[in-house]
Structure 1
Amino acid sequence: MLLDINPLVLPDPGLIIWSTLAFLILIFLLGKFAWKPIMKAIGEREQGIAEAIASAEKVKAEMAQLKNENEALLAKAREERAVLIKEAKETSDKMVAEARAKAKSEYDRILADAQSAIEQQKNAAITDVKNQVGNLVIEVAEKVLRKELSNRAAQEGYIKELADGVKLN
């Protein structure tokens, strides 16, 4: 057996010193030349991330504001639509009521005109009938009087009788 491994064997002290010295030089060189650029890159990265988060938050807030504005505009548009529909309905109802009132007025006027025309025609017919009856009465009376008053003495007696029946003021 060539290799005898003893767990209690300590490493070489020179190796420890040179390894420690190399490590310290490495740390010094990294701190002098690499640490600042690495920290700067990390800082820039953090700042970029923070700016991106802030920008995202700002965009999120703007989106929420736009959403609220859109909802407000939609609500306003709905209200305006409801008002327009209400006004249109009121206008329609008003037009229908006006048309009904006009039709009723026209109906009443036509009815009154018809009643007036009927009354005029009735009065004209009554007047015509009265005139015809009057003419017939005069003709009949004339014939009756001619027949009864054919003699002169009877005619004078009848005139005297009529004269006595007339009252003078």
Structure 2
Amino acid sequence: MDIFNDFSIGLFAMQLTILILLLFLLAKFAWKPILNSLDEREEGIQNALDQAENARKEMQNLQADNEKMIKEARAERDAMMKDAREIKDNIIAEAKEEAQEQASIMIENAKATIKQEQQAAVAELKKNVAELSIGIAQSVVKKELASQDEQLKLVEGMLQDVTLN
């Protein structure tokens, strides 16, 4: 089979015409839709890649925002704890001061009460001494003792009989 021996110009021209017609029809009706669909697919892929990149950037931004919010929350928590400690210390200090003031007042009141009781005891003692003196004087007058020695013996005897509280 020799290809060049069996060559026919008419057959060749017919095949060439059909090929050109087929290429023209493909160019007119098929290539544009095929190229358009390829372009659309390429755009779709590019859009998906862009969206993925945007989503990645947004996730990074959200993570950065979350870390910032966590740091702010920790700082706020630390500030609140510091304030709470200061308030606690102030309350304790105020309670100590108030307790000291109350203790001072109670001590002053106790001193005043002791002084009043001491004065009352001294007054009672003076009263008892006065009553005792009056009683001794009455006894001395009743017996009408003639000598001073007898009077002194009587007073000493009465003093030994009387016990002071």
Fold in common (TM above 0.5) = yes
Counterpart of 1:34, as a letter, is A
Q: 1:133 aligns with which of 125, 129, 135?
A: 129
1:121, 1:88 → 2: CA distance?
A: 48
Query: Aligned pairs, how many?
Result: 141
Counterpart position of 1:59: 55
1:59, 1:120 → 2: CA distance?
A: 89
Counterpart position of 2:86: 90
2:146, 2:68 → 1: CA distance?
A: 111
Counterpart of 2:93, as a letter, is A
Counterpart position of 2:116: 120
Counterpart of 1:44, as a letter, is E
Asked if 1:13 is matched to 2:7, the reply is yes
Q: How does 1:15-164 map to 2 (within 5 A)?
A: 17=12, 21=16, 22-137=18-133, 140=136, 143=140, 147=145
Higher RCO by CA contacts (8 Å cutoff, separation 6 or greater): 2
CA drift of 1:121 comes to 0.4
The gaps in structure 1 that reach 5 residues or longer are 1-8, 151-169
**Once the two structures are aligned, what percentage of the paired residues are identical?**
35
Counterpart of 1:56, as a letter, is A
SS class of match (2:97)? helix
The gaps in structure 2 that reach 5 residues or longer are 149-165
Deviations 1:11-31 (A, max 9, x none): 343499469725454333322
SS class of match (1:13)? coil
How does the TM-score come out when normalised to structure 1?
0.66
Deviations 1:111-153 (A, max 9, x none): 2211210121012212321343245346546738x64689xxx
How does the TM-score come out when normalised to structure 2?
0.68
CA drift of 1:38 comes to 0.9
1:80, 1:113 → 2: CA distance?
A: 49
Aligned CA distance change for structure 1 residues 129 and 24 (closer, same or farther; 3 Å): same
CA drift of 1:41 comes to 0.8
CA drift of 1:46 comes to 1.0
